[in-house]
Amino acid sequence: MPRPIKWRKICRLPDCNRFGPLDSPADEDGTVNMTIDEYEAIRLIDLEKFTQEECADQMNISRTTVQGIYDTARKKLAEALVNGKVLLIEGGEYRLCDGGGNGCNGRGCRRRRRGGGYAEALENENDL
Tell me 115's DSSP state. Answer: G
* For the chain, the helix, strand and coil percentages under 3-state DSSP, each to the nearest 5: 45, 10, 45
Question: In a structure prediction context, what are the per-residue pLDDT tens digits for the chain, which is 128 residues long?
Answer: 888 878 899 988 899 999 988 876 666 678 999 999 999 999 999 999 999 999 999 999 999 999 999 999 999 999 999 999 999 999 988 998 876 555 555 566 655 443 334 344 444 444 43
Q: What is the pLDDT of residue 59?
A: 94
CA dihedral 41, 44, 49, 53 (to 10 degrees): -60
Neighbours of 34 (CB within 10 A): 25
Q: What is the identity of the amino acid at 2?
A: P
Q: What is the pLDDT of residue 72?
A: 97
> CA–CA separation, 52 vs 79, rounded Å?
22
End-to-end CA distance of the chain: give it in Å, rounded.
49
Q: What's the half-sphere exposure (Cβ side, CA atoms, 13 Å) at 7? A: 7
Q: What is the identity of the amino acid at 75?
A: K
Cβ proximity of 31 and 86 under 8 Å = yes
